[in-house]
Amino acid sequence: MAQRELKEAFIRNLNGTSLEEVALGSFLTPICLITRGLLFILYYQTKGSLPLPLPLISHLLFDFSLLIVPLILSCTVLSSVLHQVILSLTLFSACVFGYIYRTSVRPSAQHPLNTVSAFLQSRVQFNQVPFVTLFRVFVNVKTAISILAVDFSVFPRRYAKTETYGTGVMDFGVGAYVFANALVCPEARRKTIAGSKMSHIRKQLLSVWPLVVIGMGRLVSVKMTGYHEHVTEYGVHWNFFFTLAIVRVVASIFLTILPARLLWASALLISGLYQFTLESSELKDFIIHNNDREKDFLHANKEGIFSVVGYVAIYLAGVQVGLYVMQPRSLVKEWLKAVLSLLLGSVVLYAALPTCQTLVEPVSRRLANLPFCLWTVAQSLFFLSCLGIADMIILFSKRTSGCQLVPSSWNLYKKQSDPDKNRGEMEKLCLVQAVSRNQLLFFLLANIMTGLTNSVVDTLSCNNIYSVCVLLLYMFINCFVIYVLNLCGIAVKFW
């Protein structure tokens, strides 16, 4: 069997993992962020200077070691003990938090109830909602890790994309990427539509040309190089960049005519009607069982074309969540209430999911069916709320310790401008901010590096240690390029 056929067989006919394991993975990133923030505060309390010495290198290595390395290890050599990794980091963070709290010089720190009450009444200032930025960045980062890691045997097969039914970690990643884009789209940020609705739609058509060009570039490069591909994922000619472009345009049309307060109902209606069509017609059999891909374009790319309907529903739900999260709030207690509301929404959707799977059908990323839409939104809300809670813990630690130099987190409101210019420098040296500034470029770079790595490394024959080393080097190169661009003040925009 040829190398390409071996690699294609390696990523086919998989059934995913449990809902619980996917949800468990949502705890790792927030805990890593808390650990990173507490270590910054601890270093500051011990009279260390922030930014760190040799800032250009030390901050990149610090963020990479605490935010990227754990994610790589958790989906490779430590995947079987993920719960132990999360528990260990939680205990370590709890010990650091306790030490910071006890050694705080603030008098109110000696009175826990007063401290918490005063904290809830505090006001925050921000340019972007931190946990929304973190959600978008880490969906991107986890996607970048997974698209290469899946080609190595050290990556658990249960994490990879499922063939037809099931819940793989990478299945969630696809839906979460669409959800993340919707969170900060112009409609979610309440940007006023200039001109007529038709001119707005034309503008959206023009704005997606980078995705179309990148998608065409990927298609041509895959066909010319004979790169392995999983055709039941999107089809023969289709890829995720085309899905992103079509979803954005179609969703924009809906958003010009649908009332903002009913987007969740519209998302449910669209996914429900699509599911009804799957059940009441031959569409499901056509997508799953008809393998005559040489007949025409529709037959060749049926998965990519029809799954757009489900992704549009996910996008509309994401816009609804974005509208809620972007509402003006200033007090900590208001933001805490918003985070808990997101968590409650996740619980409700997760409670409905088993019934939906029993009465309808299991989750299917290939179909982008109703259960897949419910699961994607439920898991996205859960991950988003976990990041929001992590933000609150970091902010509480910052307020207690008096250290306001933890990047990518809330800042307490001050009537006068903060004389400490180190805060701005800390943000500039932050890896999270670097990825946030060039997210599409980071995703494109990861795809290019994945192809290059596969062309020079026999991923199937690598042992575990070598595989992890390759993944660490691959992610470090991706992060280093984006980090340097951020230091130079370069934000690559295609439109």
For the stretch 279-288, pLDDT in tens is 999 999 999 9
The two counts, helices (H) then strands (E), for the chain are 23, 2
In terms of DSSP H, where are the helices of 11-107? Answer: 19-25, 28-45, 55-63, 69-74, 82-102
Residues 22 and 169 sit within 8 Å (Cβ to Cβ): yes
Identity of residue 306? F
**Amino acid at residue number 204:** Q
Tens-place pLDDT, residues 343-386: 999 999 999 999 999 999 999 999 999 999 999 999 999 999 99
Dihedral, 344, 186, 376, 430 alpha carbons, nearest 10 = -90
Closest listed residue to residue 68, CA positions, set 480, 472, 483: 472
Tell me the C-alpha distance between 363 and 166, whole Å.
Answer: 6
Phi, psi (rounded to 5 degrees) for 140: -65, -45
Residue ranges covered by each domain of the chain: 3-487
- Residue 230 main-chain phi, psi, to 5 deg: -105, 95
Per 3-state DSSP, the chain is made up of helix, strand and coil in percentages (nearest 5) of: 70, 0, 25
DSSP 244-302: HHHHHHHHHHHHHHS-GGGHHHHHHHHHHHHHHHHHHSSHHHHHHH---TTS-HHHHTH
User: Can you name the residues that pair with 123 across neighbouring β-strands?
Assistant: 331
What string of H, E and C letters represents the secondary structure of 353-385?
Answer: HHHHHHHCCCCCCCCCCHHHHHHHHHHHHHHHH
Hey, what are 16's tokens?
């995913």
Return the bridge partners of 16, or none: 167
What string of pLDDT tens digits covers the 495 residues of the chain?
Answer: 567 788 878 888 899 999 999 999 999 999 999 999 999 999 988 877 788 888 889 999 999 999 999 999 999 999 999 999 999 999 999 999 999 988 875 554 456 777 788 899 999 987 889 999 999 999 999 999 999 999 999 999 999 999 999 999 999 999 999 999 999 998 898 876 666 777 777 887 888 888 999 999 999 998 888 888 888 899 999 999 999 999 999 999 999 888 888 899 999 999 999 999 999 999 999 999 888 888 899 999 999 999 999 999 999 999 999 999 999 898 999 999 999 999 999 999 999 999 999 999 999 999 999 999 999 999 999 999 999 999 999 999 999 888 888 998 988 876 554 546 677 888 899 999 999 999 999 999 999 999 999 999 999 999 999 999 999 999 999 999 999 999 999 888 755
Q: In whole angstroms, give the CA distance from residue 331 to residue 20.
A: 33
35-38 long-range CB contacts below 8 Å, 24 or more apart?
35/66, 35/89, 35/92, 35/93, 35/96, 36/62, 36/63, 36/66, 36/67, 36/406, 37/393, 37/394, 37/397, 37/398, 37/406, 37/409, 38/93, 38/96, 38/97, 38/100, 38/394, 38/397
